[in-house]
Amino acid sequence: MPKKYDLTVYGATGFTGVQAARAFADVSQRHGLKIAISGRNHEKLKSLAATLSRPVDILVAESTDKKALNHLTKQSKLVVNLAGPFAKYAPHLIASCVENRCNYIDITGEATFIGEMIELHHQQAQKSGVRIIPFCGFDSIPSDIGWYYMLREWRKRFLHSNEACQKISALFQIRGGFNGGTIATAIQLAKEGKAQVLSRNLTLLCDPNLPLPNAGADWIAPRKIKGLEGYGAPFFMAPINTRVVRRSQSLFAKDELPLTFSPSRDVLYEEGLYVKESVPAMSSAISTMLFALNIFSRSKILAAVVEKIAPKSGSGPSEENMNSGFAKVSYVATGERGSILQGKFRSEGDPGNRTTIKLLIQAALCLALDEERKKLPEASGVLTPAYAFRDVLIDRLIENGVQLSIDSPVVKLTAKTKPHGPTASD
């Protein structure tokens, strides 16, 4: 049966959900897409619909109501999910998407939950040709697409000299507040003891039957990154983002010929927080803060205290805070003979809301627009943004206000590098 909606926004009444519903109403108008909004509360959905730039249909579905979820996924080509904690609200929705051949994307950063979804649904989704693509917000597109972009650019520049890329480091700078929903999710993870599961397994999301990628330990202290002024300090998102990139690496590895130049699984991906000051105390202070955050995500008692005092679900930073925030990533790719290529990601607006919605919209349009979907690889299953969207998403991001670029046209060559190696030109 033909599906009625090109796209349904689920969790549309939450803090990020409202922003997504507004943005999707605007873009769907421009692209002639038929959309619906969905959630558990009809009254809230009706009030929201009245504020949108165009009329949209409403589908009511509580997260455990399988009948209502099936009704939704049978009528939708794509569900965009913003109802979190996802481990709590997404399991039946994802199962229903797989069953009813409905593509799915979300903004989760809950890697352990997605590990469970891979085990439960990857094979069936592959058989049915359904794409389940989590991590399409600030977690983890700048990491995953950034890694893919840097490797792509490396290969373009170094193919002739055959210098393989050994390592890609990503250093984050962020400004913005926390959403109540994000804190609720962190509390939920702490209660379930999921942080330990994540930190114990560096290749948590990789299929053990596929070639495993090169995986370095999570950083516990600041370090110097060759080619970059300043330092990299431990970053609380790194244990999630690195696992996502490693899943991409292992998925790509199964497609690559054994002798492919610079096989993606051999490249060590690492990330941290960028600290400009050379004062070691500055880095140590940040490490300590992040260590405390890490402890918080492991401690049930601390989580209970935070639950009492933190902003509640449904709330988030002020408009001013969201608009004045930003997300910036500096990438450094290093070759086996010491060459360096630097790149940059920059998005105006806070990471958790403005940037997340911007990234999510473009990921969704890769699937929702026929002309874009046709350019995507055939791949289906529980995928990553880089593996599923590749250059199609990179082009859309660049065209829609996200900076993704190679920093400098000059590749710094060391004495060890062959003299006929490339002097990279952009």
Q: Which residues bind ligand NAP (CB under 6 A)?
A: 11, 13-17, 39-41, 44, 62-63, 82-86, 89, 107, 109, 137-139, 179-182, 184-185, 313-314, 316, 352, 356
Q: What's the min distance (Å) between Cβ of 347 and ligand NAP?
A: 11
Q: Residue 104, by phi and psi: left (phi above 0), alpha (psi -120 to 50) or beta?
A: beta
Separate counts of helices (H) and strands (E) for the chain: 16, 14
Q: What's the min distance (Å) between Cβ of 42 and ligand NAP?
A: 10
Residue with tokens 């290529």: 341
Q: What's the min distance (Å) between Cβ of 43 and ligand NAP?
A: 9
Q: What's the min distance (Å) between Cβ of 327 and ligand NAP?
A: 9
Nearer of residues 27 and 141 to ligand NAP, judged by Cβ: 141
Q: What's the min distance (Å) between Cβ of 200 and ligand NAP?
A: 22
Half-sphere exposure of 39 (CA within 13 A, CB side): 24
| Structure tokens, 234 | 């431990």
Q: What's the min distance (Å) between Cβ of 160 and ligand NAP?
A: 38
Give me the sign of the Cα torsion angle 72, 73, 74, 76.
Answer: positive
- Burial profile 93-109: b = 16 or more Cβ within 10 angstroms, e = fewer: bbbbbbbbebbbbbbbb
Q: If we measure between CA atoms, which residue out of 363, 409, 339, 400 comes closest to residue 144?
A: 363
Nearer of residues 43 and 378 to ligand NAP, judged by Cβ: 43
The conformation of residue 221, written as its DSSP 8-state character, comes to: S
Q: What's the min distance (Å) between Cβ of 350 and ligand NAP?
A: 9
Nearer of residues 43 and 370 to ligand NAP, judged by Cβ: 43
The conformation of residue 76, written as its DSSP 8-state character, comes to: B
Nearer of residues 100 and 417 to ligand NAP, judged by Cβ: 100
Q: What's the min distance (Å) between Cβ of 109 and ligand NAP?
A: 5
Give me the sign of the Cα torsion angle 121, 126, 130, 135.
Answer: positive
The answer to whether 350 and 16 have CB atoms below 8 angstroms apart is: no
Nearer of residues 107 and 133 to ligand NAP, judged by Cβ: 107
Nearer of residues 63 and 249 to ligand NAP, judged by Cβ: 63
Give every CB contact of residue 308 below 8 A, 6+ residues apart in sequence.
none
Nearer of residues 285 and 310 to ligand NAP, judged by Cβ: 310
Nearer of residues 84 and 343 to ligand NAP, judged by Cβ: 84
Measured in degrees and rounded to the nearest 5, phi and psi for residue 75 equal: -95, -10
Q: Bridge partners of 80? A: 9, 105
Question: Cα–Cα distance between 357 and 361 in angstroms, integer?
Answer: 6
